[in-house]
Amino acid sequence: MSIDLKTIKHISKLSRISVDEQRAKKLVGDLNSIFDFIEKLNELKTENVKPLTSIAETTLKLRSDEVQSKNIREQIIKNSPQDNEDYFVVPKVIE
């Protein structure tokens, strides 16, 4: 199995990471060498193996839904890349 330039561009779209032509070409090489290495798993027969989805096989505990951090609105807004006192600001989405 080999990953071509078209696939890299598709994954980059899915990942929401823009890559230019030069980086995309490098990624073709990198990802192919990594996937060559990963292909080793195909040596194993696993039809009857149950997938391990969680290492700590416990049931989720419930807790009451209470607000613990209060009055931090200002601090949270301060972390936003575009300053505004009340909202998170993004580029215009409706024409």
Partner 1 sequence: MSEITKQSLTELVESIKNKKLSSSEVTKAFIERSEKSKVLNAFITEDFTSALDKAKKFDQKPNLDLKLPGIPMAVKDLFCTKNVKTTAGSKILNNFVPTYESTVTENIWSEGAILLGKLNCDEFAMGSSNETSFFGNVQNPIDKNLVPGGSSGGSASAVAGQLTPITIGTDTGGSIRQPASFTGTVGLKPTYGSCSRYGIVAFASSLDQAGPMAQNVKDCALLQEVISSFDAKDSTSIDFKRSHYSKDLTNNIKGKKIGIPKEYRVDGMPKEIEDLWQKGIEYVRDCGAEIINISLPHTSYALPTYYIVAPAEASSNLARYDGVKYGYRANGENLIDMYEKTRSEGFGAEVQRRIMIGTYVLSSGYYDAYYLKAQKVRRLIKNDFDEAYKKVDAILTPSTPSSAFKIGEKTNDPVSMYLNDIFTVPVNLAGLPGISIPAGHDAKGYPLGLQIIGKAFDEQNILNIAFAMEEKINFKNKITDWWIK
Does the CA dihedral 81-86-88-94 come out positive or negative?
Answer: negative
In the bound state with partner 1, the residue whose beta carbon lies nearer, of 15 and 85, is: 15
Tell the smallest beta-carbon distance from residue 86 to partner 1 (Å). 14
In the bound state with partner 1, the residue whose beta carbon lies nearer, of 5 and 34, is: 34
Tell the smallest beta-carbon distance from residue 47 to partner 1 (Å). 9
Give Cα separations from 35 to 20, 54, 56, 61, 78 (angstroms): 22, 24, 29, 38, 42
Contacts of 31 (CB under 8 A, 6+ apart): 3, 8
3-state secondary structure of 90: coil
Q: Footprint of partner 1 on this chain (CB under 8 A)?
A: 3, 7-8, 11-12, 14-19, 27, 30-31, 33-34, 37-44, 46, 49-56, 58, 60-61, 63, 69, 72, 75-76, 78-82, 88, 90-93
